[in-house]
Structure 1
Amino acid sequence: MWRLWPQAPVPCDKKVARLEAEIKSLMNVINDQHRYILELHSSQGRQLEHLPNTFLGSDELYKDCSEVFDDGNVASGLYVIRPDGSPTALSVYCDMNNGGGWTVFQRRRDGKESFDRSWVEYKHGFGDLFSPEGEFWLGNDALHYLTAQGNYDLRIDMEDFDGNQRYAEYKNFKVDNEKDQYQLHVGEYSGTAGDALHECQRRGKACLHLDGIKFSTFDQPNDIGSDIALLSDSLRCDSGNLNGHYYKGPYKAMTEDGVVWYTWHGWWYSIKSVVMMLRASDLEGAPLDLPAPPGNQSQAKPASKKADPRRRL
């Protein structure tokens, strides 16, 4: 800072008071983070109470829902898995429709769960995983551990407010680790919703392809250009904003902060429901079903694991 004249020295008692105030403020931040960690541990404990104790042995856990399906479990529902590298077991929802073996990592239904979350919350996950209609994000660490195990496909099921359904699938889905800001990688597209992750048509403005973009939150923005605002997550950049603000209807305005999939309904239509899931690319699934309406998956208790030489343990 440039100064035109020397300033009077600050008395020691005022310096001490200022430092004490700063320490108090930092302690409040630490206490808030500590409470959040305790809430996470408590939530995980309550979640595991829903699952049979006989299913929690570390030597009996699948690596993903593809292994669950490959082992003969064909009912959609809650299962416990432990991906390679994960320090803990994960409770996940396995969707056995559309060929089976899908690990669901995001669900939007009715806007009850806010997705305008911090970096730490997206890192660990949040929301209601255990209700068939619950909204949640599985967690960026979990996504990294899952997709680092091999080749995975991404599937996105969407429904608008008129009951129309579309889907998008991508090969070579991968999420990097936190050190690399959970960078997103997707490959070849197929489906009926259009390729919003690779499309980049923005009249009069710059635009990013979402393939290769880094994850962003309000408290840790990454990959932000002068004409691009990433407000809530890495799937937000003009063409795709699946973690955007939930509107109670097909909201239209001169902004794209809703749940947007540009190649289906354009930038300013907020979609009613979204389910995002991943599956091992080499899974030999059942014959594909027609896209099921979101919420129609049956709820099932985890099945006990059979001795199967095909399991990748």
Structure 2
Amino acid sequence: VSKEERVPFKSCADVHGAGLTKSGVYSVQLSNSSEPTQVWCDMETSGGGWTVIQHRSDGSLDFHRTWAEYKLGFGEPAGEHWLGNEQVHQLSSQQPHVLRVELGDWEGHHAFSLYERFSVASEKQHYRIFHKGYIGTAGRLSSIGQSGIGFSTKDVDNDNCVCKCSQFATGGWWFDACGPSNLNGMYYMSGKHTGKFNGVKWHYYSLRTTTMKIRPADFQPS
């Protein structure tokens, strides 16, 4: 029996622990799911073991989606995709996790934000995001928003603002009164868009690439 055919992995950290250390698409079995979920595992960054939960790179996928679509996920793990709020909730509620956000601009610069504790609550709790502890180069104040904020989509509004941020900013996100960042916004083919507020943005800068990835806080690179 090959390593891929053994008892299903729970996350990319489990995949890494089994000795599979090449980045790529793997199947993981989440606790409340009868079917395995296909995920992209990053086995290179900072020791590997990362489960990718979001990726943007070329604007090929529409991220202005409904609550149901963000719940279940969309896209392909090898390309642009959103893993799914329910899947991220199940992964991050099993044990303490860290979140790494990687950003690339149109001039070839790269930055990251690392949150030392990260979780997403249940659907009943609006998939609220919780995070604390920060290191990185991308700037904390321009990041994923306040801890405790609920998720909003074009058909479900949890953004603490009468302006319905998800419709205005064209993408599902943890909006706090339409704050300065939205990694699921409209994909523009250049940098600053001061006249537009719906870009794939981090402090009003329209990005070329974004990746969000998580792994257990106690992960030990081999």
* Common fold: TM-score over 0.5: yes
- Equivalent AA in structure 1 for residue 115 of structure 2: Y
The answer to whether structure 1 residue 140 and structure 2 residue 88 are counterparts is no
Judged with a 3 Å threshold, the aligned counterparts in structure 2 of structure 1 residues 198 and 167 are, in CA distance, closer, same or farther, namely closer
The answer to whether structure 1 residue 183 and structure 2 residue 131 are counterparts is no
Q: How far off is 1:228 after superposition?
A: 7.0
In 2, the alpha carbon distance for the partners of 1:87 and 1:173 equals 25
The structure having more radius of gyration, on CA atoms, is 1
The answer to whether structure 1 residue 238 and structure 2 residue 179 are counterparts is yes
Aligned to 1:275: 211
- Structure showing the higher helix proportion among its residues: 1
- Structure showing the higher strand proportion among its residues: 2
Find the partner of 2:101 among 133, 137, 156.
Answer: 156
Judged with a 3 Å threshold, the aligned counterparts in structure 2 of structure 1 residues 53 and 101 are, in CA distance, closer, same or farther, namely closer
The answer to whether structure 1 residue 77 and structure 2 residue 24 are counterparts is yes
1:47-196 matches, cutoff 5 A: 55=4, 60-98=7-45, 99-130=47-78, 134-196=79-141
Question: Which 4+ residue blocks in structure 1 deviate beyond 3 angstroms?
Answer: 52-57, 196-199
Does the Cα contact within 8 Å between 1:251 and 1:258 map onto a contact in 2? no
SS at match of 2:165: coil
SS at match of 1:92: strand
SS at match of 1:186: strand
Instruction: For residues 74-130 of structure 1, give each alpha carbon's deviation from its aligned partner in whole angstroms, at most 9, with x where no partner exists.
Output: 110111111223332111110012211000011100101010001111111111223
In 1, the alpha carbon distance for the partners of 2:199 and 2:95 equals 32
In 1, the alpha carbon distance for the partners of 2:202 and 2:124 equals 28
Does the Cα contact within 8 Å between 1:173 and 1:187 map onto a contact in 2? yes
- Equivalent AA in structure 2 for residue 173 of structure 1: F
- Equivalent AA in structure 1 for residue 182 of structure 2: N
- Equivalent AA in structure 2 for residue 213 of structure 1: I
Find the partner of 2:165 among 216, 229, 239.
Answer: 229
In 2, the alpha carbon distance for the partners of 1:55 and 1:285 equals 20
Q: How far off is 1:240 after superposition?
A: 1.8
Does the Cα contact within 8 Å between 1:108 and 1:273 map onto a contact in 2? yes
- Equivalent AA in structure 2 for residue 250 of structure 1: G
Does the Cα contact within 8 Å between 1:196 and 1:240 map onto a contact in 2? no
Aligned to 1:217: 153
In 2, the alpha carbon distance for the partners of 1:228 and 1:193 equals 27
Judged with a 3 Å threshold, the aligned counterparts in structure 2 of structure 1 residues 235 and 272 are, in CA distance, closer, same or farther, namely farther
Q: How far off is 1:171 after superposition?
A: 1.7
Q: How many residues align?
A: 216
SS at match of 1:116: coil
In 2, the alpha carbon distance for the partners of 1:54 and 1:72 equals 8
1:245-264 matches, cutoff 5 A: 245-262=186-203
Percent identity reads 36
Does the Cα contact within 8 Å between 2:3 and 2:18 map onto a contact in 1? no
Listed as ranges, the gaps of 5+ residues in structure 2 are none
Listed as ranges, the gaps of 5+ residues in structure 1 are 1-51, 200-208, 287-313
Q: TM-score of the superposition, structure 2-length normalised?
A: 0.89
Does the Cα contact within 8 Å between 1:224 and 1:230 map onto a contact in 2? no
In 2, the alpha carbon distance for the partners of 1:123 and 1:71 equals 29
Q: TM-score of the superposition, structure 1-length normalised?
A: 0.64
In 2, the alpha carbon distance for the partners of 1:247 and 1:53 equals 43
Q: Which moved more, 1:70-79 or 1:231-240?
A: 231-240
In 2, the alpha carbon distance for the partners of 1:138 and 1:167 equals 20
- Equivalent AA in structure 1 for residue 138 of structure 2: A
